[in-house]
């Protein structure tokens, strides 16, 4: 025969304090059961549909393997997301997260490209000439110029940090031509880098450096021979380093040349500002001369 359960408040063999505690526990349990019944009867609104029950809470936002949900996305999806980030500083900071993110954030698929249009179709990130690519670029972007043929570059001002790279195996495969009547091919007013390019100037200069740090790596700078050779210079720098105690202090100007061939012109570098040529090295080969040097503060 089952034992009859007696309400603790009616039992006289239990001390009064113990009976009061038991009654409080029973009341608390009854309150929890009543609240649960009300929740089951009350419709839930979670943004999806009226009357739906709340979704189950996940055990961990990182998943059972400890991997963040964003890392479960494939490479193509992540690169598409990274393409919406500004190169500086967002995409740069993204590249610092891990090796995989660095590879995807710096992938050539995110670069702007300069190609001659084969058909009348518009492809995102592809431009018919360098000037339009520079105008559309964001600070920190990389522009890849397709190899083959000759690209025109006349007085193109670059006022934001950019990297411009030739798409061929050798600098001779990608040629930028500055026609007569133009002062320069490229004018730099910000920190930039150019690599693997051939830049030819008929009259004037190939590169005009006004401010910022310019890096020229594995390029060919050519000034074509003409009776006015004394007006042609492969590189001209007009940057001015202000005094360190000046209120208009602006430091960090300079030109760094790495393994670059320079041909023609009155002289390789002309400095009209406060910078000077220094640390010059040259390697002579059978067909050409490769230069390493810097243009910096005296």
- Does the pLDDT of residue 141 top 70, yes or no? yes
Whether residue 213 sits in one domain with residue 255:
yes
**How does DSSP assign 121-153, residue by residue?**
---TTEESSHHHHHHHPPTT-EEEEPSSSEEE-
- Does the pLDDT of residue 12 top 60, yes or no? no
- Does the pLDDT of residue 134 top 60, yes or no? yes
Predicted pLDDT of residue 247: 43
**How does DSSP assign 249-274, residue by residue?**
-----EEEEEEEEEESSS-SEEE-SS
Whether residue 214 sits in one domain with residue 106:
no
Whether residue 286 sits in one domain with residue 243:
yes
- Does the pLDDT of residue 153 top 90, yes or no? yes
Predicted pLDDT of residue 21: 61
Domain contains 285 = yes
Whether residue 233 sits in one domain with residue 208:
yes
Share of the chain above pLDDT 90, in %: 53
Predicted pLDDT of residue 68: 65
Please state the rounded mean pLDDT for residues 32-51: 56
Domain contains 104 = yes
Mean residue pLDDT across the chain: 82
**Any residues with CB less than 8 A from the CB of 27 and at least 6 apart, and which?**
none
Name the pLDDT band for 227 (thresholds 50, 70, 90): low
- Does the pLDDT of residue 154 top 50, yes or no? yes
Whether residue 136 sits in one domain with residue 79:
no
Alpha carbon of residue 187 to chain centroid: 22
The answer to whether the predicted template modeling score (pTM) of the entire model surpasses 0.95 is no
Strand positions, DSSP E, the chain = 112-114, 126-127, 142-145, 150-152, 156-158, 162-166, 175-178, 184-188, 192-195, 198-201, 205-209, 213-217, 220-223, 233-237, 254-263, 269-271, 275-284, 289-297
Share of the chain above pLDDT 70, in %: 71
Whether residue 247 sits in one domain with residue 183:
yes
Domain that holds residue 91: 74-110
Q: For residues 246 and 211, which has the higher predicted lDDT (pLDDT)?
A: 211
Please state the rounded mean pLDDT for residues 149-161: 94
Q: For residues 24 and 176, which has the higher predicted lDDT (pLDDT)?
A: 176
Answer whether 183's CB lies under 8 Å from 155's CB.
yes
Please state the rounded mean pLDDT for residues 249-275: 86
Whether residue 214 sits in one domain with residue 143:
yes
Whether residue 116 sits in one domain with residue 81:
no
Predicted pLDDT of residue 45: 47
Whether residue 89 sits in one domain with residue 120:
no
Name the pLDDT band for 248 (thresholds 50, 70, 90): very low
Please state the rounded mean pLDDT for residues 66-81: 82
Please state the rounded mean pLDDT for residues 31-46: 60
Encode pLDDT of 186-220 as tens digits.
999 999 999 999 999 988 899 999 999 999 999 99
Residue 79 buriedness (CB in 10 A; 0-12 / 13-18 / 19+): middle
- Does the pLDDT of residue 72 top 50, yes or no? yes
Q: How many CB atoms lie within 10 A of CB 49?
A: 9
Whether residue 122 sits in one domain with residue 254:
yes
Checking 80-87 for CB contacts under 8 A at 24+ apart, the result is 82/110, 83/110, 86/138, 86/139, 86/140, 87/138, 87/139, 87/140, 87/141
Domain contains 7 = no
Out of 110, 131, 164, pick the residue that ends a domain.
110
- Does the pLDDT of residue 109 top 80, yes or no? yes
């Amino acid at each position: 025969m089952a034992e009859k359960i007696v309400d603790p408040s009616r039992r006289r063999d239990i001390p009064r304090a113990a009976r009061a505690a038991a009654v409080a526990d029973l009341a608390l349990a009854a309150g929890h059961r009543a609240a649960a019944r009300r929740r089951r009867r009350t419709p839930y609104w979670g943004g999806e549909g009226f009357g739906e029950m709340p979704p189950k809470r996940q055990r961990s936002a990182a998943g059972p393997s400890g991997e963040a949900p964003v890392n479960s996305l494939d490479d193509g999806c992540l690169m598409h997301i990274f393409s919406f980030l500004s190169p500086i500083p967002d995409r740069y900071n993204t590249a610092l997260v891990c090796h995989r993110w660095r590879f995807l954030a710096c992938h050539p698929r995110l670069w702007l490209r300069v190609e001659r249009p084969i058909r009348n179709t518009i492809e995102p990130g592809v431009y018919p000439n360098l000037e339009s690519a520079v105008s559309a670029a964001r600070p920190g972007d990389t522009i890849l110029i397709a190899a083959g043929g000759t690209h025109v570059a006349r007085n193109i001002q670059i006022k934001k940090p950019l990297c411009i790279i030739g798409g061929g195996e050798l600098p001779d495969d990608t040629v930028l031509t500055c026609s007569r009547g133009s002062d320069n091919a490229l004018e730099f007013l910000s920190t930039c880098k150019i690599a693997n390019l051939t830049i030819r100037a008929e009259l004037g200069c190939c590169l005009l450096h006004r401010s910022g740090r310019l890096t020229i790596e594995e390029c060919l700078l050519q000034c074509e021979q003409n009776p006015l050779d004394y007006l042609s210079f492969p590189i001209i720098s007009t940057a001015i380093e202000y005094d360190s105690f000046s209120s208009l202090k602006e430091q960090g100007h300079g030109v760094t040349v790495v393994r670059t061939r320079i041909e023609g012109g009155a002289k390789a570098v002309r400095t009209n500002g406060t910078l000077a040529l220094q640390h010059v090295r040259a390697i002579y080969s059978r067909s050409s001369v490769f230069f390493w040097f810097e243009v910096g503060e005296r």
